Every structure is written in C-alpha cells, then in structure tokens.
Amino acid sequence: MTKLSPSVLSADFAKLGADCRAVLDAGADMIHFDVMDGHFVDNLSFGLPVLEGLRKALPEAYFDVHLMITDPMRYVSRFAGAGANCITFHVEAASDISATIAAIRSLGCGAGLSLNPPTPAEALFPYLDGLSMILVMGVTPGHGGQAFQPSALEKIRALRAECERRGLHPDISVDGGVKYATTAPQCVEAGANVLVAGSAVFCAGDIGAAVREFKSL
C-alpha cells in the first residue's frame, strides 16, 4: 500500500501540532520534517527544538526527517535524540556516506539517502544495502510548491529495479511536486511506495480530504 508522508514545510507554523494531528488522524503514515541549513540549500526552515516539541505532542507519530544540510554526520545523534524515526540525508552533502548511514542505524533510526535532480540514480547503488529509505527529489530542494521534474520517474524505476535485482526492499519515496491527480500516480507506477506532499496537503482547503485522496491511490 502506498504511504503518505505530508511535509510540514507547507503547514501553518502557528498551529503546527494541530496540523500534524489532522494529517495523522486522516490516515497519513508519517510526518515529513524538512531541515534546511541555508548552505546545502539556499533556504532555512526549522530544526531540533521544533522536532522535540512535535515529538512531545505526538508521541506515537513516525517522524521522517529529511536533512538538507551540509555534513549531516554532525547532527544525526541530536535528531535521533529529538525524536526522529528515520533520518535521510543527501548523497551530495556528506563526506563519508557509509559512516553516516552506520551512525544513523546505530542510533536506532532508519537510514535514508536522497539525491538531487542532477544526480544519477547510480550514485546511490554502493549504499543500498544499509538503507531503509531512498528519497528521490522531484524538485531542487529548498522550497515547497515547485513543479515536478519528470526525470525523477526514470530514477525511481532504476532504483526500484536495482533493489529488486539485489533482493532489497527499502521504501522508495519521492519528494517535491507530488500532486494527487497527476504526478503521484506516475511515481507509484514507476515504483515509489512513499509519497511526500507538502503544498498538496497543507495548502488544500480541507487537509483531511487531501490526505484521504492520496491514500486512495
């Protein structure tokens, strides 16, 4: 079954806990938590204290943390301590990818690896064994509400095929420009089983209805 991970980057920050509660009550499988450092990406978002607060408010939630930061190794233990369940970082951002994956796993979290639109799928092939999530970017990371780049579909296909060839079953997630009526079904058809959606969920008039539409895919 396809899982939905609403990205709180598009939530109403004045009522962040209530927005997270609304998507989980409507059937969302996890909460996608986008961390930006103004260096790996040009934008800043939120970080450890916000995750700590959400973890306290939502003790049963699964937090899918997406680190868009340079040198993620410096922060993985603090994000695990703040309540992350899965920590995803970028293959373009880390100096020692295998050590970062091992560190995340040793903290009891799932390890995820992401790749930007210009990065080929093959860049992830050496690391697939240790991953519980692969996060394919459908947009240049840094901002919600951008148009989906169709080149992501070929990368989802290539990564799913390589995982199957090797008997691996990580979640394959797609992030950026995912819309219920158009790009989401294409991503699922290509082999994605987790859909990250920010503006399509939190900017919808009825957040619960938007979640239920995605979950009907």
Q: Which residues are catalytic?
A: 34, 175
What are the residues whose beta carbons fall under 8 Å from the beta carbon of 2, sequence distance 6 or more? Answer: 188, 192, 193, 194, 195, 214, 215, 217
Kindly state whether residue 171 participates in binding Zn ion, applying the rule CB under 5 A: no
Q: How many residues does the chain have?
A: 217
Show contacts with ligand DX5 in window 6-25 (CB under 6 A): 7, 9-10
CB of 106 to Zn ion, least distance (A): 24
Amino acid at 47: G
Q: Hey, which residues between 22 and 41 contact Zn ion (CB under 5 A)? A: 34
The correct pick among 64, 171, 175, 213 for binding Zn ion (CB under 5 A) is 175
**Only segment of 18-26, 75-83, 93-101, 136-144 that touches ligand DX5 (CB under 6 A):** 136-144
- Residues contacting Zn ion: total by CB under 5 A: 3
> What is the C-alpha radius of gyration for the chain, rounded to an integer number of angstroms?
16
Nearest to 131 by CA among 109, 159, 117, 110: 110
Instruction: Indicate the Cα dihedral angle 54, 55, 61, 65, nearest 10°.
Output: 80
Min dist CB 166 to Zn ion, Å, is 26
Which residues from 110-139 bind Zn ion, rule CB under 5 A?
none
Bridge partners, residue 44, by sequence: 37
Among 72, 83, 144, 170, binds ligand DX5 (CB under 6 A): 144
Q: Which residues of 50-62 are buried (b: 16+ CB within 10 A; e: fewer)?
A: bbeebbeebeebb
CB of 46 or CB of 127, closer to ligand DX5:
46
Specify the residue, 121 or 139, whose C-beta has the smaller distance to ligand DX5.
139
Residues that bind ligand DX5 (CB under 6 A): 7, 9-10, 32, 34, 66, 139, 141-146, 175-178, 196-200
